[in-house]
Structure formats: structure tokens, C-alpha cells
Structure 1
């Protein structure tokens, strides 16, 4: 992929997909860049939040919690399909995978099992957290699925990537299960705009 988008380009890419975007506070400068560089960008990572309710989830996505300071993602995708932008730049969302997983994402090849924890992913991926309990029973409304697909497509398209550049957290880091009930089916959707 390539150099990170500016905040304005990121906002424009989402808007060009017809997405409804809610800008939360100082999202353009809210990040963890003081912990390390942002970029090059290699893709987009999708998560579920294990929370209920948009307002509380957006607050957590923006502010984090005592063990993990925010911003915890770039955007929170609500059940109604709105994307709440809470950060831009490096955010605390990926955890650490092995470098073999990163190499596969960069090459857009089949991902190996995540079995190491030695690579900084926070600098390399846009992150979207989707409001869902992740219990396998909480539904994924079509409008939310469409927003996830379009947001991922916007980033992949900007960076000349394909759907292989859009991954779930469970594909990146061993022991993660998210986004439970979403990602495999989303990638297989025939109307997928990410190729």
C-alpha cells in the first residue's frame, strides 16, 4: 500500500462511498502518534466491540479505558450504518501479530495462522470497530454490513488494494475472535466493492 491519507482525504474517501459520517470532536488530531510512526498503510482491520449502544461505544472508541488509552480505532460503525470518526493516525487497535501475517497482507496472499507477536500493526492499518456483542447472536443489520463493506472498499481503493487488504482482527492476532459472525461472510458477498 502506501503513505497514509490526510484526514481530509480519509473523510472524502468515505463520503465518496455514500457513507454517513459523524465527526467526533478533534478526531483529525486524536491519535497515538507519540508512540511511534503512522504508516505505511497496508490495509484496514475490522473488529467487533463486544459492547451495546452507539453513544457508549463511540466514547470507548475515542477515549479507550485505563488499560488501553484511546483512540482505539479510526471509526466506530453503528448498527444504523453511521460511521463515527474518533481518530486519525496511529490508534490502539491491532495488537501484535507475526511478521509473516504482515508479509501476506502486503502481498495480498492467503494469510498464515497468527502464531507470533512481534510486529507493530497500529502503524499499518486503519481500524473500524463495529457495534456488536460478538456473541454470535447479536445481529449484523444489512445497513451496518453495507457500511463496513464500503468503508473497507474506500480505503483499499485509495491504496490500490483488494479485499485481501481488509482483514479481521482474528486473522491478525492469535487468540482474537473478532469480528465474530461478520468477516468471512462479508468478504464473500458478491457485491463486494473491494474486489
Structure 2
């Protein structure tokens, strides 16, 4: 049994596992805690959405529908393997399931058949919805399966759980078939192998979203072909560097330049506006597109070494 992760700790755990994570609206305070307890938590439950398309699926999981208010999970895993956090706390995803299955998860032993609906799963499980029609025909891209593996491993690491703390909805509640298209035994095998190694490192910095300060990567013995991310704290009024000039030139090349003159070595409002245009081009929005570089957007810009 464990105390649920705070929003900040959950976000850090996912990013430390090398995942790209998007924060959706007011996810940090979006929950169903007024309808029942949240925690102690005992495991991770994987679902499929029976939908297609990222934007609509994420909105559905955030808002829910008249008969089942959102959030319908804690995060949505899209076909590209990116994570969209939609809730923090109790979520309407697991429903009633088998007490014996919960006990097996707690004990991290072999799962029994799920043949009862006598236990509140929304209290005890993190839930992740994977975008898939669930018809047995809709493919599961490897990037999406890798993200399921990483999400599960990240939470297991945070709670010192093994892969046996990860189950599918179909293993919890009689009559459920999700996730359909791969076996949970195979996925648990992947998670076990990942947990045997150290986390691969952050795909993006922790904090408010895509673009928060991250620690600069350690120096390398040889210059890399592109500038390593210097940390968002590097970009502030008065900062001067050839790196800023090189960044500006790349932004112009990507048709994101908002410069009347330049770019120049000094960080200016024009740089911020240009970088915000780049973030929006990548699909970020809100605080994730505030014009302050973050690791994901920086790596994708491929600023030449200066």
C-alpha cells in the first residue's frame, strides 16, 4: 500500500522515465475525490479508449460524459507514445472489481480469475487510457506500447513496486476486454526488464509542462552536432551568447522568426515570441508555449553547435 503521488512527483516520475508529457488544463486539481477516497494506491491499470484521434480522446477522458463524469483516468497515452495528464486523484476508470485480484496485486502474486465486483478500484489504481478502437484490428504502434511500458515502470519505481502491480482492466472486472490487442503478461515482461535497469533519463524537464528549467546535460568529451539544452534558466533578460544567435537562425529557418532585426546574441522579447511560435508549431499550448525553451522543443529544433 502507498500514499498517492502528488502531481509534481507523478510528473517527475514520468519524465524521468524518458516520456513526453503534456499537462491538460487544470489536471492537477481535477478529480472525483468528493465522491470517495483516493488511496492507498496499490497498482496501475491499463485501458483502451474505444476512440480514435488524440484531441477528442483527451477531451473525453478529461470531461467524461453525462453518465460518467471525468476524469476517466489519470493519463491518456496517444499513438505517438506521448502522455496527456488529465486527472490527479480519484478518477472514474476502474469501477468495481474483484477483491481477490486486489489482494494479489498487493501481494504481487499471480492473479486469480476476476469473477466478482465487490471492491472499489477507483480508490486503489492509477488509470491510463490508451487511444485504440479496441476492435482487435486497430494497430498498437510500438511507440505506444513502449509508452505503456514506461508509464507503468515509472510509477512502479516511485512506489518500489514490481511489474506484478500492473494489470489490465480485463483482469480486474468481469466482462471487460481492455486492453485488447496485446497480452498483459507480455507487457509485464517488458516492464520487468525495464525495472531491472536505471531510468533512461528525462525526455523533458520537470515542472509546469514542456518548458520548465531542466538541469543542463553533463559535458561531453567531444562537441555534439547540436547544442545540448542549456536549461531554461539560461534564457533571461540580459543573457548574451552565440547559442542564442544560432537558436534564432534556426527559428527563422523554421518560419517561426518574429524578428524585426537580428537574431542577435542577446535574449530579447523577439526571441521569446519566435520560440513561442516554434512551440505552437510542435503542438504545445498554454504554459507549454510561453516562449521559454524546454528540453523537448530544444532537442527538436536542432540548434547547431556554436
TM-score for both structures, normalised by structure 2 = 0.62
The residue aligned with 1:120 is 120
Larger radius of gyration: 2
**Further displaced range: 184-193 or 53-62:** 184-193
SS at match of 1:31: coil
Say whether the 8 Å CA contact 1:105–1:165 is kept in structure 2: yes
Number of aligned residue pairs: 195
Residues 38-117 of structure 1 mapped to structure 2, 5 A cutoff: 38-117=38-117
| Stretches (4+) displaced over 6 A | none
1:186 equivalent to 2:187? Answer yes
How many angstroms apart in 1 are the aligned matches of 2:12 and 2:89?
16
Say whether the 8 Å CA contact 2:163–2:192 is kept in structure 1: no
How many angstroms apart in 2 are the aligned matches of 1:97 and 1:155?
21
5+ residue gaps in structure 2? Answer: 197-306
How many angstroms apart in 1 are the aligned matches of 2:127 and 2:172?
12
Q: Is the alpha carbon distance of 1:26 and 1:137 closer, same or farther for their aligned partners in structure 2, counting shifts above 3 Å?
A: same
1:35 equivalent to 2:35? Answer yes
The structure with higher relative contact order (CA 8 Å, sep 6+) is 1
Structure 1 residue 194: Cα displacement: 4.0
SS at match of 1:101: helix
Instruction: Give me the CA root mean square deviation.
Output: 1.3
Higher helix share: 2
Say whether the 8 Å CA contact 1:186–1:192 is kept in structure 2: no
Say whether the 8 Å CA contact 2:153–2:191 is kept in structure 1: no
Say whether the 8 Å CA contact 2:49–2:57 is kept in structure 1: yes
Structure 1 residue 190: Cα displacement: 7.9
Structure 1 residue 191: Cα displacement: 7.0
Say whether the 8 Å CA contact 2:49–2:132 is kept in structure 1: yes
Q: Is the alpha carbon distance of 1:191 and 1:172 closer, same or farther for their aligned partners in structure 2, counting shifts above 3 Å?
A: closer
How many angstroms apart in 2 are the aligned matches of 1:29 and 1:123?
16
